[in-house]
Amino acid sequence: MRKVLLIGPYPPPFGGLAVQLCQWQRYLASSNEYQCEVLNIGEGRTTPLDGCRPVTSEWHFVQQVTRYSRQGYLLHLLTNGHNRKSWLSCLVCAAAGLLNGRRTVLVLGSGNTANYLSRTGFADGRIARLAIKLAGHMICRNESARRVLMEMGAQDSRISIMPGFLGVGDASDQTVPSHVRQFMNDHAPVLGATASSDPEYGIPLMIDALASLRDHHPKAGLVLMGPHRGQVEQQYGPLPDHILVTGGLPHDAVMATMQHLHIFLRPTSFDGDSISVREALSMGIPVVASNVGFRPEGVVLFPSGELSGFVKSILRLLSHPLRRFDGRPHQQSETGDRLLALYDQLFVSGSKNDRTDVAMERI
């Protein structure tokens, strides 16, 4: 049986790479061909959690990755790719991969990867270039990231653009929290977004857009899934009652809540290939998003940061709904098949070069 070590943030909190890691963990578990372990390097990395192994320190991380690599595990890292810590993690995993025939997959999930790499300094640039050179294969979310990685030394055959979206399963309506259900019953139309309180998610823009929208739809409401109300109000001021901030929700609850939205919003200032956008489209929910990063077909775009364009796009969708009611999926995903094919490639090539001295000759 082939062995895989998934490395990345493990929930809680839910969202982004943590959700993608858990989905891929379940995907591999459904196969009879893979033994999968998970190394948690997220916010709760020092706490023992069901489904993953903790990391207590930087040195412990190096030891764990090295040990698994020596045991023949393929190393699959999910990281943002837009800061030094992320690229140090990439370098550790890529270097450890010299012990297993370069069976390493480095996934860069952020839409800000290209911007970070293009403006990085000498030392950080050297870290990134070495990680790129040693990596078995790299996955990014858009063409701009792929282009910069190529400029920094990545071989075309060792880099792929691949969304993190693995498809949408059935989400039970029973998983909608009662206070969220009550809010949606009291407001119409209901808009929603997954976000954190970080500036790039565009929370102030959504607040202002909803204020304008209520001039036309007085009962309109906004559900923000992910951040806590206290965090949002500390950064952006008091929120009106027609905005519900749910805090962290399990992914099943997010999916169940999204099914009831009239429109899903994604006004980010930068993005990769948002999994939540693809999930919304897959459930037939119209999406209004900023024109940054990669947006799938069917998304209604507005100029990033422009309030008037944002509001006009929302009003246009409410006047002429695009929602599909036939139950057929709008977005299919080939990511699972592509990742398994990549695993096959790395296991085959790794078995031919499964000695450290052979790997070192490639550096």
pLDDT tens-digit series, residues 92-116 = 999 999 999 999 999 999 999 999 9
Question: Mean pLDDT throughout 115-134?
Answer: 96
**φ and ψ of 238, to 5 deg:** -60, 145
- The answer to whether residue 324 sits within a structural domain is no
Q: Which of 324, 334, 335, 221 is nearest to 280 (CA)?
A: 324
Q: Is residue 363 part of a domain?
A: no
Distances (CA, A) of 97 to 71, 103, 217, 343: 11, 6, 56, 14
Instruction: Tell me if 328 is assigned to some domain.
Output: no
What is the C-alpha to C-alpha distance for residues 262 and 192, in angstroms, rounded to an integer? Answer: 8
What's the pLDDT tens digit per position in 298-350?
999 999 999 999 999 999 999 987 665 444 444 568 899 999 999 999 999 86
Which residue matches tokens 């450290």?
356
Domain assignment present for 28: yes
Strand 104-108 with 137-140, pairing: parallel
Q: Rounded CA gap, 207 and 222, in Å?
A: 8
Residues 108 and 60 in one domain: yes
Q: What is the CATH number of the domain that holds 71?
A: 3.40.50.2000
Tell me how far CA of residue 186 lies from CA of 101, 181, 242, 348, in angstroms. 58, 9, 9, 57
Residues 221 and 279 in one domain: yes
Helices (H) and strands (E) in the chain, counts: 14, 12
For residue 218, give its domain range.
Answer: 173-319
Rg of the chain (C-alpha set): 21
Per the listing, tokens 């805090």 go with 247
Shared domain for 73 and 162, answered yes or no, is yes
Q: Say yes or no: 286 and 206 in one domain.
A: yes
296 belongs to a structural domain:
yes
Residues 129 and 230 in one domain: no
Q: Kindly compute the dihedral angle of the four CA atoms of residues 74, 106, 110, 22, in this order, to the nearest 10 degrees.
A: 0
Same domain, 198 and 285: yes
> In the numeric block, which tokens belong to residue 6?
């998934």
pTM of the model: 0.86
| Residues 197, 130 share a domain | no
Q: Would residue 362 count as lying in a domain? A: no
> What is the amino acid identity at position 104?
T
- Answer yes or no: do 138 and 13 share one domain: yes
With a CB cutoff of 8 Å and minimum separation 6, the contacts of 79 are: 8, 17, 86, 89, 90, 106, 107, 108, 109
Q: What is the pLDDT at residue 32? A: 83
Amino acid identity, position 331: Q
Residue 156 lies in a domain: yes
Query: Per-residue confidence at 138, pLDDT binned at 50, 70, 90?
Result: very high
Q: Tell which residue, 150, 54, 133, has the closest CA to residue 94.
A: 133
Q: Let me know whether 160 and 99 are in one domain.
A: yes
Region 233-253 average pLDDT? 94
Same domain membership, residue 192 and residue 314 = yes
Spatial distance between the Cα atoms of 282 and 304, rounded to a whole number of angstroms = 23
Q: Where does residue 298 fall: left (phi above 0), alpha (psi -120 to 50 degrees), or beta otherwise?
A: left
**3 state DSSP class of 49:** coil
In a shared domain, residues 18 and 156: yes
Domain count, the chain: 2
Distances (CA, A) of 18 to 51, 187, 219: 12, 31, 34
CB contact at 8 A, 166 and 27: yes
Task: For residue 309, give the H/E element and its range.
Answer: helix 307-319
What does the mean pLDDT of the chain come to? 91
For the segment 63-90, what is each residue's pLDDT rounded down to a tens digit? 999 999 999 999 999 999 999 999 999 9
In a domain, 201, yes or no: yes
Q: How far does Cα 230 stand from its chain's mean position?
A: 24
> Do 200 and 303 share a domain, yes or no?
yes
Rounded Cα gap, residues 63 and 81, in angstroms: 22
